[in-house]
Chains A and B, each alone.
Chain A
Amino acid sequence: MDLISPSSGLIFWQLFGFLALLFILIKFAWKPMLAALEERESTIDNALKAAEQARNDMANLKAENEKLLAEARLERDTILKKAHDASAKMIEEAKVEAGKQGAQMIENAKAVIETEKKAALAEVKTQVATLTLEVTEKLLRKNLSDEKAQKDLVDGFVNELKLN
């Protein structure tokens, strides 16, 4: 057994032993182990990616929520403003309408009053005329009941006619 010249027997056994070891380990140790390692690494990778994805989704969701909220707020404001405007307009219109109607009513009342007044005046005039005629008749009846009075009257007329 020399130190630096390889002995054929040991080479044979070493070759045999090492190749046997190699094939057994490849089949039963390295393949399952490397596969498991790779699987685990990819699982971890995927989990990290999924977490990242979830975080992004969350951020997107939040952003969307905020956007929706902002939109809703905007819409509410618009609706409120519209309602406010509409009510203001309605009040304004009602006011105008009321004013118009009041004016119309006053106008009508005035016209009625005028008519009534005219009618009353006409009545009064008729009454006065009737009263005057009655008074005059009574006076005439009283004054012309004697001869002298009748004569005076005729004289009076005659005088007047003279003047003309």
Chain B
Amino acid sequence: MLRFIANRFLQGIIVLIALYTITFFLIKAMPGDPFTGEKNIAEETKELMREKYGLNDSVFTQYFLYLKNVFTEGSLGISTSKAHSVNEMIGQSFPVSCVLGITALLIAIAVGVPLGVASAVRQNSWIDYSSMAWAMIGICVPAFTVGPILQIFLAMKLPLFNVAGWSSPRDVVLPAITLGLVTTAYIARLTRSGMLEILSQDYIRTAHAKGLPISRVVMKHALRGGLLPAVAYIGPAFAALISGSFIVETIFQVPGMGQHFVNATKARDPFLLQGVVLFFGLLIVIMNLAADILTGLLNPRVRLTQE
């Protein structure tokens, strides 16, 4: 087990360095520079700013210096587009994204798993068709449609929530539903397919033959195996949910991580962009590892040491 974790950890570091390398050189390839603004500032001023941020050093110096700062000081640099350190920006926005992402995931699991189970147990019934139709709608309808609809109906026509903002606990509800909708839909579909496979197994037939009630067959014998595809999906989905969503954050005025990706790209802010990409990469690595471990615990046939 420990060897497996150590192996995956080393693989994760390689993945992160590759991610950083690709991001670093893609940023260098972008037209414009961090100091391109609406008002054209003097070339001498730009030169001074490049000097201050170390952007006049050779590409390789910049590449290794940033890595060195990350590993030795834990510093992700200073944003060139905002007057803050990248660590501070992530430090403020990540907890917000975490709350939003966790709520969205809980909604997704709470709705998606029962939908998937019900569909599988009542395959080809109206429950199955309607659940999967909703799941398909959830996958297909984008957040920029769902968000404003929720705002109009649940915040304006029925003033149950604020339209947008992040000032009270209830402000998490509408963005979490919007953000979690796609995940709900995928979890429902994956649970359904996992459950269908398990429900056709011999040991389930045996359980039925023993005269066990359906609820017990499902809960005790089928669910554990049937959830495996959904659990494998939840790891990366969780990382994606807590890393923020530009669209949901913009619609609901949520001060999360997602905006940093887009704003940093638009502003050609190398340190913010590298910082959030690295941070997100680290999250994915950790979540994938967690999902692997959880899969192993749920399914003893997966031998963690084989990795």
Asked if A and B are interacting partners, one says no
